[in-house]
Amino acid sequence: MVPKVPAERRDDFFLSIPFQTTGLTGLAVSPDPKHSLTVLYNKILRLLAKMPDDAAYKKYTKEIVDTRIKVVQQAKSIDEMETKIKSGQIEEVIIQAENELLLARKMLNWKPWEPLLKTSPPQQWVWPPAKFTPQN
Protein backbone atom coordinates (compact mmCIF):
# COMPACT_ATOMS: atom_id res chain seq x y z
CA MET A 1 0.00 0.00 0.00
CA VAL A 2 1.40 3.39 -1.00
CA PRO A 3 1.03 5.97 1.78
CA LYS A 4 -0.76 9.22 1.00
CA VAL A 5 1.83 11.94 0.56
CA PRO A 6 1.02 15.62 0.06
CA ALA A 7 1.68 16.82 -3.50
CA GLU A 8 4.44 19.23 -2.43
CA ARG A 9 6.38 16.38 -0.79
CA ARG A 10 5.95 13.69 -3.47
CA ASP A 11 9.33 14.27 -5.09
CA ASP A 12 11.09 13.95 -1.74
CA PHE A 13 9.08 10.84 -0.92
CA PHE A 14 9.82 9.03 -4.18
CA LEU A 15 13.49 10.00 -4.07
CA SER A 16 13.72 8.43 -0.62
CA ILE A 17 12.52 5.00 -1.83
CA PRO A 18 15.58 2.80 -2.19
CA PHE A 19 15.87 1.08 -5.54
CA GLN A 20 18.69 -0.04 -7.76
CA THR A 21 19.12 0.56 -11.44
CA THR A 22 21.94 0.29 -13.92
CA GLY A 23 20.70 3.36 -15.73
CA LEU A 24 20.71 1.29 -18.93
CA THR A 25 17.33 0.46 -20.43
CA GLY A 26 16.54 -3.24 -20.20
CA LEU A 27 19.61 -4.10 -18.13
CA ALA A 28 18.68 -5.19 -14.62
CA VAL A 29 21.00 -4.95 -11.64
CA SER A 30 22.80 -8.22 -10.94
CA PRO A 31 22.08 -9.48 -7.41
CA ASP A 32 25.48 -11.20 -7.09
CA PRO A 33 27.88 -10.15 -9.87
CA LYS A 34 30.94 -11.67 -8.20
CA HIS A 35 29.36 -15.13 -8.21
CA SER A 36 27.98 -14.73 -11.75
CA LEU A 37 31.33 -13.70 -13.20
CA THR A 38 33.24 -16.42 -11.33
CA VAL A 39 30.90 -19.10 -12.69
CA LEU A 40 31.02 -17.72 -16.25
CA TYR A 41 34.80 -17.31 -16.29
CA ASN A 42 35.33 -20.84 -14.93
CA LYS A 43 33.04 -22.26 -17.64
CA ILE A 44 35.04 -20.38 -20.29
CA LEU A 45 38.32 -21.69 -18.87
CA ARG A 46 37.02 -25.28 -18.94
CA LEU A 47 36.11 -24.87 -22.63
CA LEU A 48 39.48 -23.31 -23.42
CA ALA A 49 41.22 -26.28 -21.78
CA LYS A 50 39.70 -28.50 -24.50
CA MET A 51 41.37 -26.45 -27.26
CA PRO A 52 44.93 -26.96 -28.51
CA ASP A 53 47.57 -24.83 -26.79
CA ASP A 54 48.67 -23.23 -30.07
CA ALA A 55 45.16 -21.98 -30.93
CA ALA A 56 45.25 -18.17 -31.06
CA TYR A 57 41.72 -17.87 -29.67
CA LYS A 58 42.66 -19.95 -26.63
CA LYS A 59 45.87 -18.04 -26.00
CA TYR A 60 44.39 -14.55 -26.04
CA THR A 61 41.04 -15.38 -24.45
CA LYS A 62 42.70 -17.28 -21.60
CA GLU A 63 44.94 -14.30 -20.91
CA ILE A 64 41.96 -11.94 -20.62
CA VAL A 65 39.82 -14.35 -18.58
CA ASP A 66 42.67 -15.16 -16.17
CA THR A 67 43.23 -11.45 -15.58
CA ARG A 68 39.55 -10.74 -15.04
CA ILE A 69 38.90 -13.69 -12.74
CA LYS A 70 41.77 -12.56 -10.51
CA VAL A 71 40.26 -9.07 -10.36
CA VAL A 72 36.84 -10.50 -9.47
CA GLN A 73 38.27 -12.75 -6.75
CA GLN A 74 40.44 -10.04 -5.19
CA ALA A 75 38.05 -7.09 -5.44
CA LYS A 76 36.32 -6.01 -2.28
CA SER A 77 33.56 -4.05 -4.01
CA ILE A 78 31.71 -3.82 -7.29
CA ASP A 79 33.18 -0.37 -7.90
CA GLU A 80 36.67 -1.82 -7.58
CA MET A 81 35.84 -4.55 -10.12
CA GLU A 82 34.42 -2.00 -12.58
CA THR A 83 37.45 0.26 -12.18
CA LYS A 84 40.01 -2.50 -12.68
CA ILE A 85 38.23 -4.31 -15.53
CA LYS A 86 37.49 -1.05 -17.39
CA SER A 87 34.64 -2.43 -19.50
CA GLY A 88 31.67 -0.48 -18.25
CA GLN A 89 29.24 -1.40 -15.52
CA ILE A 90 29.55 -4.84 -13.95
CA GLU A 91 26.28 -5.93 -15.57
CA GLU A 92 27.81 -5.11 -18.97
CA VAL A 93 30.86 -7.20 -18.04
CA ILE A 94 28.52 -10.10 -17.20
CA ILE A 95 26.91 -9.80 -20.64
CA GLN A 96 30.37 -9.77 -22.24
CA ALA A 97 31.28 -12.93 -20.31
CA GLU A 98 28.03 -14.63 -21.37
CA ASN A 99 28.74 -13.74 -25.01
CA GLU A 100 32.33 -14.99 -24.69
CA LEU A 101 31.03 -18.29 -23.30
CA LEU A 102 28.73 -18.66 -26.31
CA LEU A 103 31.60 -17.85 -28.67
CA ALA A 104 33.95 -20.31 -26.93
CA ARG A 105 31.37 -23.07 -27.41
CA LYS A 106 31.07 -22.18 -31.10
CA MET A 107 34.84 -22.03 -31.54
CA LEU A 108 35.17 -25.50 -30.01
CA ASN A 109 32.62 -26.72 -32.55
CA TRP A 110 34.12 -24.84 -35.52
CA LYS A 111 37.76 -25.82 -34.76
CA PRO A 112 39.39 -22.92 -36.63
CA TRP A 113 42.84 -24.24 -35.65
CA GLU A 114 42.48 -27.23 -37.98
CA PRO A 115 43.85 -26.98 -41.53
CA LEU A 116 41.56 -25.92 -44.36
CA LEU A 117 39.72 -28.68 -46.22
CA LYS A 118 41.06 -27.30 -49.50
CA THR A 119 43.42 -24.51 -50.42
CA SER A 120 42.04 -21.04 -50.84
CA PRO A 121 41.72 -19.65 -54.38
CA PRO A 122 44.59 -17.52 -55.66
CA GLN A 123 44.18 -13.79 -55.14
CA GLN A 124 41.50 -14.39 -52.48
CA TRP A 125 43.01 -11.86 -50.09
CA VAL A 126 43.91 -9.21 -52.68
CA TRP A 127 42.05 -5.93 -52.35
CA PRO A 128 40.46 -4.40 -54.35
CA PRO A 129 39.22 -7.58 -56.00
CA ALA A 130 39.71 -6.18 -59.51
CA LYS A 131 41.99 -3.49 -60.83
CA PHE A 132 40.11 -0.33 -61.63
CA THR A 133 40.85 1.01 -65.08
CA PRO A 134 39.07 4.27 -65.88
CA GLN A 135 37.32 4.46 -69.23
CA ASN A 136 37.79 7.63 -71.27
For 14-53, give the DSSP string: HHHS-----SSTT-PPPS-HHHHHHHHHHHHHHHHHTS-T
Q: What is the number of other CB atoms lying within 10 angstroms of the CB of residue 70?
A: 12
Q: How many domains does the chain have?
A: 1
Q: Work out the percent of the chain whose per-residue pLDDT is above 90.
A: 64
Q: Which domain holds residue 96?
A: 25-110
Nearest to 29 by CA among 87, 85, 84, 95: 95
Residue 1: is its pLDDT beyond 80? no
122 located within any domain:
no
pLDDT band per the 50, 70, 90 thresholds, residue 63: very high
How far, CA to CA in Å, does 111 sit from each of 3, 27, 52, 89? 61, 33, 10, 32
| DSSP letter, residue 113 | T
7 located within any domain:
no
pLDDT digits (tens, 9 = 90+) for 9-34: 555 555 555 568 888 888 999 999 99
pLDDT band per the 50, 70, 90 thresholds, residue 69: very high
51 located within any domain:
yes
> What does the alpha-carbon distance between residue 39 and residue 32 come to, in Å, rounded to a whole number?
11
120 located within any domain:
no
- Compare 3 and 54 and report the one with higher pLDDT: 54
Model confidence, pTM: 0.77
**Peptide bond just before 128 cis, omega within 30 deg:** yes
Q: Give the per-residue pLDDT at 16.
A: 57
85 located within any domain:
yes
pLDDT digits (tens, 9 = 90+) for 73-90: 999 999 999 999 999 999
